[in-house]
Structure formats: structure tokens, C-alpha cells
Amino acid sequence: MKRVRELSGSYCMDRTKLRALLDEVAAGSVAPEAALERLRSLPFEDLGFAKVDHHRGIRQGYPEAIFAAGKTPRQVVEIVARIKAHGSNVLATRCSAEVVSAVLAENPEAVHHEAARLVTITVTPPKALSGYVAVVCAGTSDMPVAEEAGVTCEAYGCTVKRVYDVGVAGIHRLLGQHEVLQRANAIVVCAGMEGALPSVVAGLVDVPVVAVPTSVGYGANFGGIAALLAMLNSCASGVSVVNIDNGFGAGMLAAMINRIAHRE
């Protein structure tokens, strides 16, 4: 008789693992009761203050990320614990110093990406994708947003090549990175001030460009609104625009584009 094994809390519930689980139930190597226990908190788990979406990995291929801003350290720690218990990797964005301290105290394996204001925990290393995403920023002041995008891409299995401080005020710096840009599967471009850089980059390449307006700039930048409007009005083809300072959203979109390119 086959030995029916129990499911551990580290069973990563993404599409591949779910299919494997169903195959094992069909083969009789996993008891239906054990599978049911593992699946019972799908599609979400209600913590009272948050409903943790354990179904996200099945639907989108990536687990839910935690937006830490506005949450207490204890709330973030509890959400992290529940995501880990379901075998998913953890990505927490916009982490304050207090949140970082609380998460690291409970999870010594966590990594604090200081420049990106992110905390990650790798339960199962993501499948490495071929090709790479280029993350570009106009100036050093845009780096926190660019790093948020870059670390997000890396958390989802992408190789990232960073091209920093190549704004239009010194266009020769950008042109020196032309080959890196042309070989990327997707490009994230972060810029504040007048927000011109994504249009320039998009005019040089044949891959999607994800433009990120940043809140960097003098008064007439209006906290990133000037850059946002400039990017929305880009005359270059193939530019999509995310919200002001939304490095995570840009990184997520670029990672999805890279995943599609990987399939091809």
C-alpha cells in the first residue's frame, strides 16, 4: 500500500504546486483530507484587519505583496506569518524602520532592501527566467523608486540590469548604454523633473517601456504631476505609465512582460 503523506505548511500553492497536489491526490499518495486542510483557507484568509489572498499565486502566478505603509508593525508581522505558512515568498513594500525591525525580529531570514524600502523572504526560490529587465533612472534621487522596481522584478525571478543617472541633461550617458537597452525584454524608466526620459528611451528600442513618474523635482514638478502628464503625453510608441512613485507596479508589469517573453 502506498504511504499517504501529510502536507506540510511549506507547500507552495502556486499553479505548478496545485497541479502537483491534484495529481498526488488522484494517484493516492496524498489523502483527500490532507489536501482539503491545505486548501481550506483558499481563496483568502480573514485576519479581521486584513484578508490575505492566498489564491493570488494560482490566478496570477505571483503571491500577494504587502503594502506596509499605513499598517502597524504587528499587522505586517502577522500577514507575513500567514503568507509564509502557506509556503509563499514574501514581498513587503514601503516598510518603515519600525516595520523592518518587527519583521526581522520574527523572521531572521528576511532581507531588508534599504534603498528600495522593501523586505523580502524567500521560502521557495523563484524560477529563473531567461533574458532580463532593464531598470533605468534619470538621476540618483530617483533611485529609491527604481530600486523598488528592480527588487520587485528580482523577487519574481527576473534578472535585472540597472542603468542609473542617465537623464536627458546628459544624453550621452544614456546613449552609452544603448546595447543594454536594446537587448532587454522590458524596460522600466523612472524620472522626475520634466519626465522626458521614457520618451527618449522608447524611441531607441523595440520593447515595452514602463514609465514611472517620480515626485522628484522643484516646485513646478508638483510632486510628480508634471512628469506624469509628460509621460502620458509621450509621442513615442510602446510607453505605458504607472502612478507617481509606483516602482512596485512598474516592476510587477515588467516581470509579467519578461515572463511572457520567456515562454516564447
Per-residue pLDDT tens for 144-196?
999 999 999 999 989 999 999 999 988 999 999 999 999 999 999 999 999 99
Say if residues 145 and 192 touch (Cβ distance below 8 Å). Answer: no
With a cut of 90, say whether residue 3 has pLDDT above it: no
Q: 222: which DSSP letter?
A: G
| Domain edges within the chain | 8-32+40-125, 132-263
pLDDT attached to residue 9: 35
Hey, what CATH topology would domain 132-263 get? Rossmann fold (3.40.50)
CA angle 219, 224, 229 (to 5 degrees): 110
Residue with cell 532581507: 111
pTM of the model: 0.80
With a cut of 70, say whether residue 219 has pLDDT above it: yes
Per-residue pLDDT tens for 77-98?
999 998 888 778 899 999 999 9
Of all residues in the chain, what percent carry a pLDDT higher than 90? Answer: 62
Per-residue pLDDT tens for 239-263?
999 999 999 999 999 999 998 886 6
How many Cα atoms sit within 13 Å of 82 on the Cβ side? Answer: 21
Contacting residues for 215 by C-beta, under 8 A, at least 6 apart: 192, 221, 223, 224, 244, 245
DSSP code string of 152-220: HHHHTT-EEEEE-S--GGGHHHHHTTHHHHHT-SEEEEEE-TT--HHHHHHTT-SS-EEEEE-S-SSGG
- Strand spans (E) along the chain: 45-46, 51-52, 66-67, 90-93, 111-113, 118-121, 132-137, 159-163, 186-191, 209-213, 239-241
| Spatial CA neighbour of 118 closest among 155, 83, 148, 161 | 148
With a cut of 50, say whether residue 2 has pLDDT above it: no
